Structure 1
């Protein structure tokens, strides 16, 4: 490849171009390249204005590392010749030579346990994030949350090599617990997971080739609330604790089912939540289905609000985060 292609190629492998900064590196690279037919590129170029040579970090290579008679006038990029006479050689940058890349070690975080019995939220990131992670990783992570809570995971952003690099999630403190799924399922990629208890664990696996920027995980511990089911011809609903403030990390489901052949008229008379972060979702189906989301209500400019379902089902889900809590909402419904 031409010299201009080597930086992106090395980066795609999770590494960087090689230049020589120490005598022991020069000795090793001479030995390493001695058996190569072609001379690999070094991250060393000539400044055509000053006619001086520089490593890619701006330092100057030692003059004794050039082969006899080098650097010659016919090239502005450098290659390394390991065979006699060994040393660096000025080479035209358009020449087709192999790349030589410096690979970072495959390191996992020294900390594998996150959260505690008193911690309700946090973030975790892939090794090196937002820089590229390393090859050949199998990094384990375990999250602990307070008793009587469950844990939600959201990987965003999530930038990994498709199919070959992925996260596997388990519903407990280790892999002996039920398997919840993998981020990079072929036909159904997932970036959100939910545990059934206050423990969850996952493994980040990478193969030996391409690396990318990785992922940032946000996790929250939420208090389990039994769904509220309502049937008949009318009813009322409120946020937890209304008119007092709802709790942090709340998730409450409401299911309304009208008799066959009827619709549901939903009215919200009072509404006050933390804008954007504490949200009431309304769906026109019997369960939470993303494609059937009708409204995403938050803030203080919502009430009065009303809507008529196209069928006999209405599902609502209220979610709050851990920062600001307000009085919530009050509403009613009747059949049409």
Structure 2
């Protein structure tokens, strides 16, 4: 029903196009705008639909992006050539991203197994080559560190016996995290160890104290499997900060709702002996002032 309504909304023309991508066919691939890397034709209208299965999420990584935008055009992406991303929330389509111009967008991740893109290119020029996107159907939420626990919807474990230090991040980082998602990170140290976390980037949509009544996304820290009043919840935009466990176990829970979103967080973890003090890793001058 929703797709039928959507088809009626889209005004197809000879330059219209439609593509479907299913995880039944392949788990990853590439899609491009018409005629890429040559300019797309004027009055182009395309939509691309992605259909995964089960716990799969759709992840899009942009490799190239150049849409026509006049110098005196709108400061946002309205009434100009654009690419929009839609997810399904409670059975309805909802726009989550809109891109235009020449800046390479950050990765996109769906909130479930389906996602749709709509491309409108009313103008064109010899420079407007369009876009190239790598797509994949993933179950790891774009989290490539730790060991994923398949018995949970989204959970990762970090053992000091496997790595004494490393990094972890919110789903789809550095792109915006997906909506309606909960991920848990478990840290297990040796008997005489503690866990130190250094959050270097933190942007989680919400208003402190990050309660349900404010519709806040949040990160929750705990020394145990249950809620820990010592740490509570964190949300909003924060400068880098440190937290340390009281013993050899620590749990981090990330939770997003179905409303707004942010870029999430990135953190460094380190297992220390209980008697040791944390020492920040050394940075050389070439990397200390540059954030990529």
TM-score range, shorter chain: 0.3 to 0.5
Q: State TM-score, norm by structure 2.
A: 0.44
Q: State TM-score, norm by structure 1.
A: 0.39
**Larger RCO (CA within 8 A; separation ≥ 6):** 2
Bigger Cα Rg = 1
